[in-house]
Amino acid sequence: MARPDNTIEVPYDRIRAVDWVENHLRLIDQRILPGRYTHITYDNVLDCAHAIRDMVVRGAPAIGITAAYAVVLAARNRYRADPKSWREAIQADLKYLADARPTAVNLRWAVERMRALITGLPDGNPEGALLAEARRIHADDIVANRRMGELGAALIAKGSGVLTHCNTGALATGGYGTALGVARAGYANGRIAHVYADETRPWLQGARLTAWELVQEGIPATLIADSAAAYLMKQGKVAWVIVGADRIAANGDTANKIGTYMTAVAARHHDVKFMVVAPTSTVDLATADGSAIPIETRPQDEVLSFGGTRTAPEGARAWNPAFDITPADLIDAIVTEKGVVEHPTREKMAGLMAA
């Protein structure tokens, strides 16, 4: 696959969920993995927004990168339609894109970064400059992920088992991964001997995606039901829980895939360390704490059905929050490309972001 960063091959780093191929955006359709490995190509911003909303692409960094490339497509089409008023016309596209999913801060971060560039562009075709910026966002994410992998793995004793929740690998990022990037780096240097993956109901990102990535890379892994995590910890099988983040508030409270909070509670009870791995683009200093993070609620059918077959009785109702909030006092370390914050506080997070 094409590499936007043009770097040499890195062990356990072969998967790209988001790519720019022949002047179009290309995404792996993550809804149908691992049964089928299929790419979908996009040429307009509305379809890109639907891909984000419908979870063709998911994971905060990958969503942000997708959004950046989607802005390139929007600018191309608006400029072709009217070279004089494309800047005004594209504002509706940017809003539609930013509203595709409310919790992941990387989506709005990427849209605002592209919007700022649009404002300062000279007259003429904007596509080249916007594409260069989108490629930069993509390449920077991969570099950041590799750095986070090194920093996170350094915290783990050699030969450890670790537990992940949801999917935080190459499929959720520009490449390599955040929490799963730590697993990749840790396995490569012998610090991680085995990865346990929560299946992550109701979308089964752990079963369908994380397990698939680990099998592709040849990293020893065991899939467990979410409800088995606490008992696994009691058996002494894991030293760290390693998760990603969709938004980190100013005080270190973290929004991540539903089920993360209960895993953090279980980890604290069993003296298992808890690590959050995310780029600084996921840190939102404008959000004071976790109570201010909007939590996306998804359709009831995702819980009431499985694989297109209804599993709950007719008339039953479901509550389906896509994310939950893990308070900072349950987090042992937040790992970013800028460094590691242990036992996060508002002051420590501010210092990290000012560095």
Q: Tens digit of pLDDT for each residue in 188-205?
A: 999 999 999 999 999 999
- Predicted confidence at residue 13, as pLDDT, reads 80
Question: Is 2 a residue whose pLDDT tops 80?
Answer: no
Contact 195, 177 (CB under 8 A): no
* Per-residue pLDDT at 5 exceeds 80: no
Q: Is residue 289 among the annotated active site residues?
A: no
Is the confidence at residue 23, as pLDDT, over 90?
Answer: yes
119, with CB counted inside 10 A (0-12, 13-18, 19+), is: exposed
Percent of the chain with pLDDT over 70: 97
pLDDT in tens, 247-262: 999 999 999 999 999 9
CA distances to 55, 89, 119 from 112, in Å? 21, 16, 10
pLDDT of residue 9: 58
Give me the mean pLDDT over the 283-292 stretch.
97
Just give the CATH number of 18-143. Answer: 1.20.120.420
- pLDDT of 260-277, one tens digit each? 999 999 999 999 999 999
Has residue 1 got a pLDDT over 50? no
Contact 65, 75 (CB under 8 A): no
Chain region(s) in the chain for CATH 1.20.120.420: 18-143
Mean pLDDT for all residues in the chain = 95
Q: Would you state the structure tokens that stand for residue 205, as one six-digit string?
A: 């990102």
Q: Could you say which architecture CATH assigns to the domain 146-354?
A: 3-Layer(aba) Sandwich (3.40)
pLDDT tier at 8, thresholds 50, 70, 90 = very low
Whether the Cβ atoms of residue 331 and residue 276 lie closer than 8 Å to each other: yes
pTM (predicted TM-score): 0.89
Cα 250–296–49 angle (5° rounding)? 100
Q: Which of the following is catalytic: 19, 93, 246, 332?
A: 246
Q: Where in the chain is the domain with CATH 3.40.50.10470?
A: 146-354
**Helix 86-98 with 45-53: angle, nearest 10 deg:** 10
Question: How much is the pLDDT for 275?
Answer: 98
The answer to whether residue 102 scores a pLDDT higher than 90 is no
